[in-house]
Amino acid sequence: MKIRTGFGYDVHQLQEGLPFWLGGIEVPHTHGALGHSDADVLIHVICDALLGAANLRDIGFHFPDTDPQYKGIDSKKLLAGVMRLLRERGYEVGNVDSTICLERPKINPHIPEMQRVLAAVMGVAEEDISIKATTTEKLGFVGRQEGVAAYASVLIVKS
């Protein structure tokens, strides 16, 4: 058995009037993340962590923002594509540990639904996906509510 770890980090600017997609669900908020796709920062960091663990570069390499087919795409489709790439190489997900950095809205009430959605897309158990949320105590761009950041680490296993 071979195990590998991966790490992901991403940020997106927040803008008033956009839908706020996070962890595969739309979270009610006055501001949403700006990006070429639906700008789901949590899914993006999970994709990057998984790709990194398998030494498959990053999300931008596989799904470039210069390609019009990815304009506005649901990030769950990107995650499903990443899972196909991993499984083609014989890898399965051991676990995901992630943190969302955001002043508001409060994310904790939405975490169980995010876990359900992500587990279904990834074909893993909900208990294998950890999602945490924190603020930056009003410091930096996150603290000023100008953007959202997220981190993820993953473990993948090849039998």
pLDDT by residue (tens digit) across 43-71? Answer: 999 999 999 999 999 999 999 989 988 99
Helix (H) or strand (E) holding 2, with range, is strand 2-16
5 is known to lie in a ligand binding site: no
Beta bridge partners of 38: none
pLDDT grade, residue 159 (50/70/90)? confident
20 is known to lie in a ligand binding site: no
60 is known to lie in a ligand binding site: yes
Query: What φ, ψ does residue 15 adopt, rounded to 5°?
Result: -135, 140
Please check the confidence at residue 151 and state whether its pLDDT lies above 80.
yes
> Do 4 and 155 touch, CB atoms closer than 8 A?
yes
pTM of the model: 0.97
Q: What topology is assigned to 2-158 in CATH?
A: 60s Ribosomal Protein L30; Chain: A; (3.30.1330)
**Token match 């950095």: residue?**
101
CA dihedral 132, 35, 55, 47 (to 10 degrees): 40
User: How do the domains of the chain map onto residue ranges?
Assistant: 2-158
31 is known to lie in a ligand binding site: no
Beta bridge partners of 129: 96
Rounded percentage of the chain residues whose pLDDT exceeds 90: 94
Tokens of 133: 């949320």
58 is known to lie in a ligand binding site: yes
Average pLDDT value for the chain = 97
pLDDT grade, residue 22 (50/70/90)? very high
